[in-house]
Structure 1
Amino acid sequence: MLKLSLQHRRFTYIVSHMDNNQNALDAVFHALADPTRRAVIHRLGSGPATVSELAEPFAMALPSFMKHMRVLEGVGLVRSEKTGRIRTCTLERKTLAAAERWFEQQHAIWASRYSNLDNLLEKLQGEDNEA
């Protein structure tokens, strides 16, 4: 129970500080850089799953797969609960949403830059036509 409490506090800290904490965002992107971990996140997007269910599609030993799960849990993307001998994992959507906000901010910046470039090109083409 104490371990779950510590994990919950770490998750709460990561989510509440992600927008202002570049290191937390870097950790999330590092976790998502691996195709195995992205596949796990994709699978958990459709609902909770046991570790065995998550590990099944991968050709690796369970201890190796658990390293991936620890990375995902460590950055707060996944939460797991153990009932008896079964560990069930769920996606922490708030952490994923924080990374998504970063992408949305980048999209807005680049959309604005492209709009400014379009305006400049139109202005320059208008000046060429007048000359």
Structure 2
Amino acid sequence: MSDAEKSFVRRVWGRTCLQIQVQQYYYNGVLKAEWNVFWLLLDDDAWVKFCFDAGVFSWKPEPPALPKSSQLRVYKLVEPSIAPRIARKQILAANFGPLRGGGRVLGLWFEGGLGLYIRNRNDQTSIVVG
């Protein structure tokens, strides 16, 4: 794990997730990145922003904010459909690993047995809930 990945794991492990927000990216009216940037509101009232960019994970303590949109590029902040399933749930574990065929995955495991897997390959991020 990179230093950024290790420090993220230390920051979120054992905390309760109160809310999740996601930045979506549209180009010329077409959704290009449904899972572009993530924010978690933790039980210490701090927001944690995180994302993969060109396969590299980064994070920082920062509340949700969107970059300026243009005529072609539009950013939207949404509460994803998985939000009710992880709201008010403790993060029991967090880990990073390689994806078969290249890329990285962040796994977050919540109380109640839910796992959220954020996968990044070729600068495209997707999620799997299980």
User: Which TM bucket (shorter chain)?
Assistant: under 0.3
Say which structure is richer in helix.
Answer: 1
TM-score by length of 1: 0.23
TM-score (normalised: structure 2): 0.23
